[in-house]
Structure 1
Amino acid sequence: MQTDFAAWSWTAGRGIDGLQPIRKPLVQPGPGEVLIANRALALNPVDWKIIEWGHPAWNTGHVPGVDGMGVVVACGDGVPIKPGTRVAYHQSLERDGSFAEFCLLDWATVMTVPAALDDAIAASFPCPGLTAWQALDKVPVSGPSDMLVVGAGGAVGLLLVQLAVQRGCRVWATAGTKHHANLKALGAVGVFDYQDRNWQQNLQASLGERRLKVVFDTVSGAHAAALAPLLGYNGHLVCIQDRQETAPLPAFSTAISLHEVALNSFHSYASPGDRQRLRDAGEHLLESMLGGRLTLPERRIFDFRNLPEALLALKQGGEGGKWIALLNESGVTPSGQP
């Protein structure tokens, strides 16, 4: 196995422009850790946001990136996974991440990838897939309840629509018009253009006497708070971006419940049982993607050597889709693969 590897490093205070190609020494896994030779990595909005905002645990030289997939090439003591296993993972923001040929992880955070599942699909799953699953897991709702997914054109929203439909719910969504036909084909009963100033009134007209049981908001805490009046009695407001610092409605009115979703927190606060449950759910959803029961946004493949440019394109949001680098197609081939 090689002794060093290619990676992108962060420079404090310089944002995306400060990403620099470096080589890092290859460190062998300690107890409970696995070393992954990356085959693919995927970009997420959290990547450019933290690169621009910074993180308390980061110093110049930190390797960003939360999502990737690859092959286990070495295991520390106490790891039940065998070298050669294909896995996908969500890395903790506090550790060097996936923007590299290799990634060192806590073994309890990795998910086995079905043999026939494409590398790019597997890499694009962890952050949006586990976030969507956690968001839906917050609410004890199934059957013909009405749910609204705000921002269903993105990866998290798209998966939320599909998972809620599979739970038997009536799912409504907001998204750009280019996404409407696909969302309806996936089972949404109605889709509204978020740029239409009357979309909330149109939704209420469609609901008639019914009220929403759940609102999933992927925009911001302030945006979610503005949607709280759409909820009926004992409804649920689920914030996937930010959280509600103060109650958005008067006390003892519709008695809604407030939920925050923080996938990265499981790295620090989840019990072993929590991690096992999340890993089991992730592996089940990866199987669903293999069977075509779940789909992700269109994939946009980029060269690993052009990662800053791809990250900037994601931030600007003009092209949409899921940005993925296949390392063995970028002139950067992870060593140690079987």
Structure 2
Amino acid sequence: MSDEFAVRAEGLDKRYGDKRALDGFDLTVRRGTVHGLLGPNGAGKTTAVRILSTLVRLDGGRAEVAGLDVAREPRLVRSRIGLTGQYAAVDEVLTGRQNLEMFGRLFHLGGRPAQQRATELLERFGLTDAADKGVGKYSGGMRRRLDLAASMILSPEVLFLDEPTTGLDPRSRGEVWESVRALVADGTTVLLTTQYLEEADKLASRITVIDHGRAIADDTPDGLKNTVGADLIEVVAAEVADLPAVAKVVARVCAGEPETDDLERRVHAPVADRVAALTEVARALQDEGIGVEDIGLRRPSLDDVFLQLTGHRSVAEEAA
């Protein structure tokens, strides 16, 4: 397997009784990048991460992490990786510094090296001012950054992040994103599973979509969006009664058949010449005296990709 990749999996299989969690799953993650792993609930994301991080044995196929075979060399793999699960695994009674020193000792760093490493990580993750406060007083974003710091005690080559910002508010999520970017800038490779498609879009340079235990797409975020089709023109009507008239105008100007959302009073359709179509639709609506609340252009989103590939929207989008 190539040194170009920090993670490589070929034909991974995993069964739990009659259920096949992974069914010939393939994955390659380039060194020094963030690679997103997206899929519906039950698609096999967490199983794949558990196999790659040596927590679960594979039933078939082959996988290497940091150049090491996960089945034959699990202990060496563990010495090269970090893993951050869905929920922060820090002690709220201890201070941030005490948490990191404790993890350092658990990794056999010894007293003074553990203290030095804790100080380095507190500074790297912007937690120096809160280092001696109880973690119970930390915000959600601060706890998550401390959890990331704990996973970096041994400076892992590969870091697995399994839905790292679940339940965080937008500000805290942004803080975690900045920390992840800093890790990658220092050379760490990150495999990110997330239910927030915006998160994958902002962080990942490449994304693999998994469904029913198989990789069904693998490309850059822009490449995946291009598979959906052209840019879209969107018009929000002032009144629901105006939707048929708006749809008629949009159909006359645009290449594709428009779709109408009565609940949001929205009409949208794919366009070839973005600016010309927008100008023409706006002029036609004005000439015919049709009132609109908003009009604009947008690119297909990762949620559009997710919907097209898996048949339904992401968990976060459905919740919204």
Normalised TM-score (structure 2): 0.25
If each structure's helix is expressed as a fraction of its own residues, which one has the higher value?
2
Normalised TM-score (structure 1): 0.24
The structure with the largest alpha-carbon Rg is 2
